[in-house]
Amino acid sequence: MTDLERARCERDIAKFLERRRPPPHIRPKLDIGYRISGQSVEIFETRPDWQDPAENMEHPVAKARFVRTKKRWRIFWMRRDLKWHGYEPNLEVHSLEAFLHVVDRDEYCCFFG
């Protein structure tokens, strides 16, 4: 990902997080974060570990991978087998904003349950 593409991704994800993050007083117990790695963007929840509340655990929510040859974003969700699977209702979208819209709607309760 180029620096410009990465900056656009971070801007779009920041808008998404503004809408989806819980209120500030809840964030120590539940929050949403993201990471960009190579051509992939991953959204995850963080919450204290139930065995050791001083440690935080990450729970994957959604993942998108940019396929440069197609100029499309592939959408994935994590099933209970702890593997990423293509999101069947929308396997690909044209932009990161479209991916974030699909995750935000969560029409089939695959991302946030």
Which contiguous run of DSSP H or E holds residue 4? helix 3-20
The model carries a pTM of: 0.92
**CB-CB contact of 41 with 63 (8 Å):** yes
**Using CA atoms, how far apart are residues 13 and 37, in angstroms rounded to an integer?**
14
Q: Residue 104 burial (CB < 10 Å; 0-12/13-18/19+)? A: middle
For residue range 8-41, what is the model confidence (pLDDT) as tens digits?
999 999 999 999 999 999 999 999 999 999 999 9
Tokens representing 24 are 């500030």
**Which whole number is the average pLDDT over 30-56?**
95
Instruction: Give me the pLDDT at residue 68, please.
Output: 93
Three-state DSSP class for 49? coil
